[in-house]
Structure 1
Amino acid sequence: MLGAPNPVELPDGGSWQEFGALLRHWRRHAGWTQAQLGTAVGYDHTAVSRLEHGARRATPRLVRQIDELLGTGGELTRSYHRAESAEGDRPALPPHLLRPPLPATGGPVPTAPVPVDDCPASLPDHDVQCPLHGATGCQPPPPAAALALLAPFCADPAAPLDTDTVHALAAVLGAQLHSADRAVGERGPGSVIEGTLRAVVARLADAPVRHRRVLARLAAEYAHAAGSLRLHGGRPATAMACFDRALGWAALAGDPTTQAAALSDMAVLGLLDDDPAAAGDYAREIRRAAPGRHWSDALATLGEARATALAGDIHATVRHIGRARQHLDRPEDLPDTEARVPWLAPAALRLRIESGSSAALRDLAAATADPRLARHALTAATAALDLLADGQLPVARAMLTVRIADCHLCADDPHTALAALAPLLDTDGTPLPALVRHELRGLRGRLAAGAGRWGVEAAEVVVRLGAVV
Structure 2
Amino acid sequence: MLGAPNPVELPDGGTRQEFGALLRHWRRHAGWTQAQLGAAVGYDHTAVSRLEHGARRATPRLVRQIDELLGTGGELTRSHARAESAEGGRPALPPHLLRPPLPPGTGPVPAATPAAPVPASLPDHDVQCPLHGATGCQPPPPATAVALHAAFCADPAAPLDTDTVHALAAVLGAQLHSAERAVGERGPGGVIEGTLRAVVTRLADAPARHRRVLARLAAEHAHAAGSLRLHGGRPATAMACFDRALGWAALADDPTTQAAALSDMAVLGLLDDDPASAGDYAREIRRAAPGRHWSDALADLGEARATALAGDIRATVRHIGRARQHLDRPGTVAAEEHVPWLAPAALRLRVESGSSAALRDLAAATADPRLARRALTAATAALELLGDGQLPAARAMLTVRIADCHLCADDPHTALAALAPLLTPDRTPLPGFPALVRHELRGLRGRLATGADRWGPAAAEAAMRLGAGA
The one-letter code matched in structure 1 to 2:82 is R
How far, CA to CA, are the matches of 2:172 and 2:332 in structure 1?
A: 29
- Would you say the 8 A contact 1:4–1:163 is kept in 2? no
Gaps of 5+ in 2: none
User: How far does residue 60 in structure 1 lie from its aligned partner after superposition?
Assistant: 4.7
Q: Quick one: percent identity of the two aligned structures?
A: 85
Equivalent residue letter for 2:379: A
Distance, in Å, in 1 between the alignment partners of 2:221 and 2:295 is 21
| Separation in 1, partners of 2:415, 2:95 | 51
Q: Distance in 1 between matches of 2:339 and 2:8?
A: 33
Q: Is residue 232 of structure 2 the alignment partner of residue 237 of structure 1? A: no
- 1:187 corresponds, among 184, 189, 211, to 184
Partners in 2 of 1:129 and 1:32 — Cα distance? 43
Residues 347-389 of structure 1: CA deviation (Å, up to 9, x unaligned) = 1110100000000011111111111111111111111000111
| Secondary structure of residue in 2 paired with 1:92 | coil
Rate the CA distance shift 1:365–1:321 in 2: closer, same or farther, 3 A: same
Shift of 1:254: 1.2
Q: Is the 8 A contact 1:269 1:279 kept in 2?
A: yes
Structure 1 residue aligned with 2:393: 395
TM-score by length of 2: 0.90
Q: Which residue number in structure 1 is paired with residue 371 of structure 2?
A: 373
Q: How big is the shift at 1:78?
A: 3.8
**Inter-partner Cα distance in structure 2 for 1:72 and 1:106:** 43
Q: Per the alignment, do residues 12 and 371 of structure 1 end up closer, same or farther by CA in structure 2, a change over 3 Å counting?
A: farther
Unaligned runs of 5+ in 1: none
Residue 49 to residue 187, structure 1, CA distance change in 2 (3 Å): closer
Contact preservation (8 Å) 1:11, 1:17: no
Please say which of residues 294-303 and 17-26 is displaced more in the overlay: 17-26
Structure-2 change in CA distance of 1:7 and 1:108 (3 Å): closer
Matched residue type, 1:152: A
Which residue does 1:435 correspond to in 2? Answer: 436
DSSP 3-state at the match of 1:224: helix
TM-score between the two structures when normalised by the length of structure 1:
0.90
Contact 2:341–2:347 at 8 Å: present in 1 too?
A: yes
CA contact (8 A) 2:294 2:332 kept: no
Tell me the SS of whatever aligns to 1:133: coil
1:15 aligned residue? 15
Return the alpha-carbon distance in structure 2 between the equivalents of residues 146 and 14 of structure 1.
31
Counterparts of 1:255-334 in structure 2, within 5 Å, are 255-330=254-329, 332-334=331-333
Whole-angstrom distance in 1 between the partners of 2:109 and 2:164: 16
Deviation, 1:270, is 0.5
Aligned equivalents of 2:134 and 2:70: distance in 1? 43
The change in CA–CA distance for 1:32 and 1:133 in structure 2 (over 3 A counts) is farther
Q: In 2, distance between residues paired with 1:389 and 1:304? A: 27
Shift of 1:57: 3.6
State the partner residue of 2:463: 462
- Tell me if structure 2 keeps the 8 A contact 1:136–1:340: yes
Q: 1: CA distance between counterparts of 2:168 and 2:400?
A: 36
2 CA distance for matches of 1:91 and 1:333? 36
CA contact (8 A) 2:4 2:160 kept: no
> Where do residues 161-172 of structure 1 align in structure 2 (5 Å cutoff)?
161-172=160-171
Cα distance in 2 for partners of 1:47, 1:365 equals 64
Q: Which has the higher contact order (CA 8 A, sep 6+)?
A: 1
Larger displacement relative to structure 2 (200-209 or 365-374): 200-209
Q: State the shift of 1:255 in Å.
A: 1.1
In the TM superposition, what is the alpha-carbon distance from 1:112 to its structure 2 partner? 4.4
CA distance in 2, matches of 1:155, 1:251: 27
Q: How do 1:337-356 and structure 2 match up within 5 A?
A: 338-356=336-354
Query: For the Cα contact (< 8 Å) 1:146–1:169, is it kept in 2?
Result: yes
SS of structure 1 residue aligned to 2:245: helix
What secondary structure is seen at the aligned counterpart in 2 of 1:182? coil
The correspondence for 2:408, drawn from 387, 393, 410, is: 410
Instruction: Output one character per residue of 1:171-225: Cα deviation in whole Å (capped at 9) or x when no partner.
Output: 2211111001135xx5345112112212222222222222221221111111111
Matches of 2:38 and 2:298, distance apart in 1: 60
